Protein backbone atom coordinates (compact mmCIF):
# COMPACT_ATOMS: atom_id res chain seq x y z
CA UNK A 1 0.00 0.00 0.00
CA UNK A 2 1.47 3.34 -1.11
CA UNK A 3 1.22 5.78 1.77
CA UNK A 4 0.77 9.53 1.26
CA UNK A 5 3.23 11.87 2.90
CA UNK A 6 1.62 14.49 5.12
CA UNK A 7 1.81 17.94 3.58
CA UNK A 8 2.43 19.46 7.02
CA UNK A 9 4.15 18.03 10.08
CA UNK A 10 1.82 16.45 12.62
CA UNK A 11 1.36 18.14 15.99
CA UNK A 12 3.25 16.54 18.88
CA UNK A 13 1.17 13.86 20.57
CA UNK A 14 0.47 10.16 20.94
CA UNK A 15 -0.99 7.97 18.23
CA UNK A 16 -2.70 4.68 19.07
CA UNK A 17 -2.37 2.28 16.16
CA UNK A 18 -4.12 -1.05 15.55
CA UNK A 19 -1.13 -3.02 14.33
CA UNK A 20 -1.84 -5.52 11.54
CA UNK A 21 -0.44 -9.05 11.49
CA UNK A 22 2.77 -9.63 9.57
CA UNK A 23 4.26 -6.16 10.11
CA UNK A 24 6.99 -5.34 12.58
CA UNK A 25 6.72 -2.46 15.02
CA UNK A 26 9.62 -0.85 13.16
CA UNK A 27 7.62 -1.10 9.90
CA UNK A 28 4.79 0.84 11.52
CA UNK A 29 7.12 3.53 12.87
CA UNK A 30 8.51 4.02 9.34
CA UNK A 31 4.98 4.27 7.92
CA UNK A 32 3.89 6.85 10.49
CA UNK A 33 7.03 8.91 9.87
CA UNK A 34 5.82 9.35 6.30
CA UNK A 35 2.21 10.05 7.25
CA UNK A 36 3.23 12.51 9.98
CA UNK A 37 5.92 14.17 7.82
CA UNK A 38 8.55 13.87 10.55
CA UNK A 39 11.35 11.50 11.50
CA UNK A 40 10.67 12.03 15.19
CA UNK A 41 8.44 9.00 15.80
CA UNK A 42 8.91 6.18 18.31
CA UNK A 43 6.87 3.40 19.88
CA UNK A 44 6.19 2.16 23.41
CA UNK A 45 6.57 -1.61 23.50
CA UNK A 46 7.34 -3.91 20.58
CA UNK A 47 4.75 -6.32 19.19
CA UNK A 48 5.97 -9.41 17.32
CA UNK A 49 5.00 -9.68 13.62
CA UNK A 50 2.51 -12.43 14.57
CA UNK A 51 0.70 -10.10 16.97
CA UNK A 52 -1.95 -7.46 16.27
CA UNK A 53 -3.53 -4.69 18.29
CA UNK A 54 -2.62 -1.65 20.34
CA UNK A 55 0.73 -0.05 19.52
CA UNK A 56 1.28 3.36 21.11
CA UNK A 57 3.48 5.75 19.14
CA UNK A 58 4.84 9.14 20.09
CA UNK A 59 5.28 11.95 17.58
CA UNK A 60 7.56 14.95 18.05
CA UNK A 61 7.89 16.10 21.64
CA UNK A 62 5.62 13.27 22.80
CA UNK A 63 8.36 10.70 22.13
CA UNK A 64 9.64 11.63 25.60
CA UNK A 65 6.39 10.32 27.10
CA UNK A 66 7.11 6.84 25.75
CA UNK A 67 9.62 6.24 28.56
CA UNK A 68 6.64 6.12 30.92
CA UNK A 69 4.07 4.46 28.64
CA UNK A 70 6.38 1.51 27.95
CA UNK A 71 6.12 0.52 31.62
CA UNK A 72 2.31 0.39 31.67
CA UNK A 73 0.32 -2.76 32.37
CA UNK A 74 -0.99 -4.47 29.23
CA UNK A 75 -3.97 -6.63 28.27
CA UNK A 76 -3.99 -9.35 25.64
CA UNK A 77 -6.37 -11.83 24.05
CA UNK A 78 -4.50 -14.90 22.88
CA UNK A 79 -4.88 -18.46 21.63
CA UNK A 80 -2.68 -21.08 23.27
CA UNK A 81 -2.26 -24.50 21.68
CA UNK A 82 -1.62 -27.30 24.15
CA UNK A 83 -0.05 -30.54 22.92
CA UNK A 84 2.89 -29.22 20.88
CA UNK A 85 6.01 -27.12 21.53
CA UNK A 86 7.93 -24.97 19.03
CA UNK A 87 11.42 -23.50 19.02
CA UNK A 88 10.00 -19.95 19.10
CA UNK A 89 7.12 -20.67 21.52
CA UNK A 90 4.72 -19.47 18.84
CA UNK A 91 3.23 -20.74 15.57
CA UNK A 92 6.06 -19.31 13.44
CA UNK A 93 8.68 -21.74 14.76
CA UNK A 94 9.50 -25.34 14.00
CA UNK A 95 7.68 -27.93 16.14
CA UNK A 96 10.19 -29.49 18.55
CA UNK A 97 7.84 -31.88 20.37
CA UNK A 98 4.24 -33.01 19.93
CA UNK A 99 3.09 -35.03 22.93
CA UNK A 100 -0.57 -34.27 22.29
CA UNK A 101 -3.17 -33.10 24.80
CA UNK A 102 -5.99 -35.58 24.20
CA UNK A 103 -6.42 -36.58 27.85
CA UNK A 104 -6.23 -33.14 29.46
CA UNK A 105 -9.31 -32.13 31.44
CA UNK A 106 -10.62 -28.60 31.96
CA UNK A 107 -9.87 -28.94 35.68
CA UNK A 108 -6.22 -29.76 34.93
CA UNK A 109 -5.89 -26.81 32.57
CA UNK A 110 -7.51 -24.44 35.08
CA UNK A 111 -5.13 -25.67 37.79
CA UNK A 112 -2.15 -25.05 35.51
CA UNK A 113 -3.35 -21.53 34.73
CA UNK A 114 -3.84 -20.79 38.43
CA UNK A 115 -0.14 -21.51 39.05
CA UNK A 116 0.79 -18.77 36.59
CA UNK A 117 -1.26 -15.98 38.17
CA UNK A 118 0.13 -13.36 40.53
CA UNK A 119 3.81 -12.53 40.98
CA UNK A 120 5.89 -15.12 39.15
CA UNK A 121 9.43 -15.57 37.85
CA UNK A 122 9.33 -15.90 34.07
CA UNK A 123 12.10 -16.97 31.72
CA UNK A 124 11.66 -14.94 28.51
CA UNK A 125 11.39 -16.77 25.20
CA UNK A 126 14.83 -17.53 23.77
CA UNK A 127 13.68 -15.97 20.49
CA UNK A 128 13.34 -12.49 21.98
CA UNK A 129 15.02 -9.12 21.50
CA UNK A 130 16.88 -9.33 24.81
CA UNK A 131 20.59 -8.65 24.33
CA UNK A 132 23.24 -11.10 25.51
CA UNK A 133 26.72 -9.55 25.39
CA UNK A 134 25.53 -7.04 22.82
CA UNK A 135 23.77 -9.53 20.51
CA UNK A 136 20.01 -10.13 20.36
CA UNK A 137 18.90 -13.46 21.79
CA UNK A 138 16.88 -14.32 18.67
CA UNK A 139 19.97 -13.75 16.49
CA UNK A 140 21.97 -16.19 18.62
CA UNK A 141 19.23 -18.83 18.38
CA UNK A 142 19.00 -18.46 14.60
CA UNK A 143 22.79 -18.82 14.42
CA UNK A 144 22.48 -22.20 16.12
CA UNK A 145 23.56 -21.16 19.60
CA UNK A 146 21.93 -22.50 22.76
CA UNK A 147 20.55 -19.56 24.73
CA UNK A 148 19.68 -19.54 28.42
CA UNK A 149 18.03 -16.39 29.72
CA UNK A 150 17.64 -15.52 33.38
CA UNK A 151 14.18 -15.54 34.94
CA UNK A 152 12.72 -12.14 35.77
CA UNK A 153 9.80 -11.08 37.97
CA UNK A 154 6.49 -10.28 36.26
CA UNK A 155 2.94 -9.97 37.55
CA UNK A 156 -0.03 -11.71 35.95
CA UNK A 157 -3.11 -9.86 37.20
CA UNK A 158 -5.59 -11.98 35.22
CA UNK A 159 -5.21 -15.19 33.21
CA UNK A 160 -8.58 -16.64 32.23
CA UNK A 161 -10.12 -18.87 29.58
CA UNK A 162 -12.55 -16.84 27.46
CA UNK A 163 -14.53 -19.51 25.61
CA UNK A 164 -14.99 -23.25 25.11
CA UNK A 165 -11.77 -25.16 24.49
CA UNK A 166 -11.44 -26.42 20.90
CA UNK A 167 -10.01 -29.91 20.42
CA UNK A 168 -8.68 -30.87 17.01
CA UNK A 169 -6.50 -33.48 15.38
CA UNK A 170 -3.58 -32.26 13.30
CA UNK A 171 -2.45 -33.82 10.02
CA UNK A 172 0.17 -35.91 11.83
CA UNK A 173 -2.53 -37.41 14.06
CA UNK A 174 -1.61 -35.43 17.18
CA UNK A 175 -4.59 -34.16 19.18
CA UNK A 176 -4.23 -30.60 20.49
CA UNK A 177 -6.42 -28.28 22.52
CA UNK A 178 -6.73 -24.58 21.66
CA UNK A 179 -7.54 -22.14 24.47
CA UNK A 180 -8.72 -18.57 23.90
CA UNK A 181 -7.48 -16.64 26.92
CA UNK A 182 -7.42 -13.15 28.43
CA UNK A 183 -4.19 -11.97 30.08
CA UNK A 184 -3.68 -8.76 32.06
CA UNK A 185 -0.06 -8.38 33.05
CA UNK A 186 2.83 -6.14 33.95
CA UNK A 187 5.20 -4.71 31.38
CA UNK A 188 7.90 -7.13 30.32
CA UNK A 189 5.66 -10.21 30.34
CA UNK A 190 6.04 -12.58 27.39
CA UNK A 191 2.72 -14.18 26.46
CA UNK A 192 4.63 -16.75 24.40
CA UNK A 193 6.45 -17.74 27.56
CA UNK A 194 3.13 -18.11 29.40
CA UNK A 195 1.95 -20.51 26.69
CA UNK A 196 5.21 -22.46 26.93
CA UNK A 197 5.12 -22.61 30.72
CA UNK A 198 1.48 -23.72 30.82
CA UNK A 199 2.30 -26.54 28.41
CA UNK A 200 5.31 -27.56 30.46
CA UNK A 201 3.30 -27.54 33.70
CA UNK A 202 0.71 -29.81 32.09
CA UNK A 203 3.36 -32.12 30.63
CA UNK A 204 2.19 -31.75 27.03
CA UNK A 205 3.98 -28.68 25.68
CA UNK A 206 2.36 -25.50 24.47
CA UNK A 207 2.81 -22.53 22.19
CA UNK A 208 1.06 -19.35 21.09
CA UNK A 209 -0.93 -19.35 17.84
CA UNK A 210 -2.61 -15.94 18.01
CA UNK A 211 -2.04 -12.72 19.97
CA UNK A 212 -3.91 -9.42 20.07
CA UNK A 213 -3.02 -6.60 22.45
CA UNK A 214 -6.20 -4.84 23.49
CA UNK A 215 -4.89 -2.27 25.99
CA UNK A 216 -1.74 -0.43 27.06
CA UNK A 217 -2.31 1.54 30.26
CA UNK A 218 -5.44 3.65 29.61
CA UNK A 219 -5.18 3.31 25.82
CA UNK A 220 -7.46 0.69 24.21
CA UNK A 221 -8.56 -0.55 20.80
CA UNK A 222 -11.36 2.06 20.99
CA UNK A 223 -8.61 4.71 20.63
CA UNK A 224 -6.82 2.89 17.83
CA UNK A 225 -6.75 3.58 14.11
CA UNK A 226 -5.65 1.22 11.35
CA UNK A 227 -2.93 2.17 8.89
CA UNK A 228 -5.43 2.43 5.97
CA UNK A 229 -7.63 4.73 8.09
CA UNK A 230 -4.66 6.98 8.82
CA UNK A 231 -3.60 6.98 5.17
CA UNK A 232 -7.13 7.97 4.09
CA UNK A 233 -7.24 10.78 6.66
CA UNK A 234 -3.88 12.16 5.51
CA UNK A 235 -4.91 11.98 1.84
CA UNK A 236 -8.07 13.97 2.58
CA UNK A 237 -6.15 16.45 4.76
CA UNK A 238 -3.61 17.05 1.98
CA UNK A 239 -6.49 18.20 -0.27
CA UNK A 240 -7.83 20.66 2.29
CA UNK A 241 -7.32 24.42 1.92
CA UNK A 242 -5.52 24.53 5.27
CA UNK A 243 -4.01 21.06 6.02
CA UNK A 244 -3.68 20.24 9.71
CA UNK A 245 -1.45 17.18 9.44
CA UNK A 246 -1.95 13.71 10.91
CA UNK A 247 -4.24 13.98 13.93
CA UNK A 248 -2.80 12.84 17.26
CA UNK A 249 -3.82 12.62 20.89
CA UNK A 250 -2.49 15.99 22.10
CA UNK A 251 0.14 16.24 24.81
CA UNK A 252 -2.41 17.69 27.21
CA UNK A 253 -4.94 14.93 26.56
CA UNK A 254 -2.32 12.18 26.66
CA UNK A 255 -0.81 13.42 29.92
CA UNK A 256 -4.24 13.93 31.48
CA UNK A 257 -5.24 10.36 30.67
CA UNK A 258 -1.99 8.63 31.58
CA UNK A 259 -0.75 10.45 34.68
CA UNK A 260 -2.40 11.68 37.89
CA UNK A 261 -2.76 15.45 37.65
CA UNK A 262 -2.38 18.45 39.97
CA UNK A 263 -2.78 22.20 39.53
CA UNK A 264 0.34 24.25 40.24
CA UNK A 265 -1.17 27.72 40.71
CA UNK A 266 1.37 30.32 41.80
CA UNK A 267 4.27 27.85 41.44
CA UNK A 268 3.84 27.80 37.66
CA UNK A 269 6.77 30.16 36.99
CA UNK A 270 9.17 28.13 39.15
CA UNK A 271 8.16 24.95 37.34
CA UNK A 272 8.69 26.47 33.91
CA UNK A 273 12.23 27.35 34.97
CA UNK A 274 12.82 23.77 36.09
CA UNK A 275 12.80 24.58 39.80
CA UNK A 276 11.28 22.28 42.45
CA UNK A 277 7.84 23.03 43.85
CA UNK A 278 5.80 21.81 46.81
CA UNK A 279 5.18 18.09 47.14
CA UNK A 280 2.21 16.51 45.34
CA UNK A 281 1.87 13.66 47.86
CA UNK A 282 0.94 11.44 44.93
CA UNK A 283 2.71 8.25 43.88
CA UNK A 284 4.96 8.27 40.84
CA UNK A 285 5.10 10.80 38.03
CA UNK A 286 2.39 13.50 38.02
CA UNK A 287 1.21 15.88 35.26
CA UNK A 288 1.46 19.44 36.63
CA UNK A 289 -1.16 21.69 35.03
CA UNK A 290 -1.93 25.39 34.84
CA UNK A 291 -5.41 26.78 35.51
CA UNK A 292 -6.60 25.91 31.99
CA UNK A 293 -5.64 22.24 32.30
CA UNK A 294 -2.53 22.62 30.11
CA UNK A 295 0.27 20.28 31.23
CA UNK A 296 3.40 22.32 31.89
CA UNK A 297 5.65 19.56 33.23
CA UNK A 298 5.90 16.06 34.58
CA UNK A 299 6.98 16.06 38.21
CA UNK A 300 7.77 13.53 40.93
CA UNK A 301 8.05 13.82 44.70
CA UNK A 302 11.66 13.52 45.80
CA UNK A 303 12.39 14.32 49.40
CA UNK A 304 10.79 17.56 50.58
CA UNK A 305 9.84 18.75 47.10
CA UNK A 306 8.27 17.77 43.80
CA UNK A 307 10.93 18.01 41.14
CA UNK A 308 10.39 18.26 37.38
CA UNK A 309 11.44 15.17 35.43
CA UNK A 310 10.41 16.69 32.10
CA UNK A 311 9.45 20.34 31.52
CA UNK A 312 7.07 20.22 28.55
CA UNK A 313 6.41 23.96 28.31
CA UNK A 314 9.48 25.84 29.63
CA UNK A 315 9.73 29.57 30.19
- Which entry of 18, 27, 48, 197 is annotated as an active-site residue? 48
CA distance 188 to 74: 9
Q: What is the pLDDT of residues 235-267, one digit of tens each?
A: 999 999 999 999 999 999 999 999 999 999 999
Q: Which candidate, 9, 32, 2, 3, places its Cα nearest to that of 19?
A: 32
Tell me yes or no: is domain 13-71+218-250 CATH 3.30.2350.10: yes
pLDDT at residue number 210: 97
pLDDT at residue number 143: 64
Written out in words, the top-level CATH class of the domain with range 74-216 is alpha beta
Q: What is the pLDDT of residues 152-190, one digit of tens each?
A: 999 999 999 999 999 999 888 899 999 999 999 999 999
* Residue 52 DSSP SS3: strand
CA distance 91 to 14: 31
- Name the superfamily (CATH) of residues 259-311: PUA domain (2.30.130.10)
CA 253 to chain centroid: 19
CA distance 30 to 38: 10
Whether 156 and 139 have beta carbons less than 8 Å apart is answered as: no
Same fold, 13-71+218-250 and 74-216: yes
205 Cβ neighbours under 8 A, 6+ residues apart: 82, 83, 84, 85, 97, 98, 99, 196, 199
Q: What is the pLDDT of residues 3-43, one digit of tens each?
A: 999 999 999 999 999 999 999 999 999 999 999 999 999 99
Establish whether 48 is a catalytic residue: yes
Query: What own/partner pairs with CB < 8 Å and gap ≥ 24 does 171-174 have?
Result: 172/98, 174/83, 174/84, 174/98, 174/99, 174/100
Q: What is the pLDDT of residues 103-137, one digit of tens each?
A: 899 999 999 999 999 999 999 887 666 777 667 76
Domain boundaries, the chain: 13-71+218-250, 74-216, 259-311
The pTM score is 0.93
Q: Which candidate, 194, 227, 176, 174, places its Cα nearest to that of 78?
A: 194
- Dihedral (CA of 248, 253, 257, 261) sign: positive
pLDDT at residue number 126: 74
Amino acid sequence: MALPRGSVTAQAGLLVLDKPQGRTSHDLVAAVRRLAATKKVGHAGTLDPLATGVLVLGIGQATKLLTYVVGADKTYEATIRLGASTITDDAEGEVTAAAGAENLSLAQIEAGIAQLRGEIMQVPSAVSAIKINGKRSYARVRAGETVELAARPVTIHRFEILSDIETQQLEDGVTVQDLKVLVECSSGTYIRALARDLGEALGCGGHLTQLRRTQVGPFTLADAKTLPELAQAVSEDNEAEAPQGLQTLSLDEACGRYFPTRPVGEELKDLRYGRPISRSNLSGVVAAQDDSGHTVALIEDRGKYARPVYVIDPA
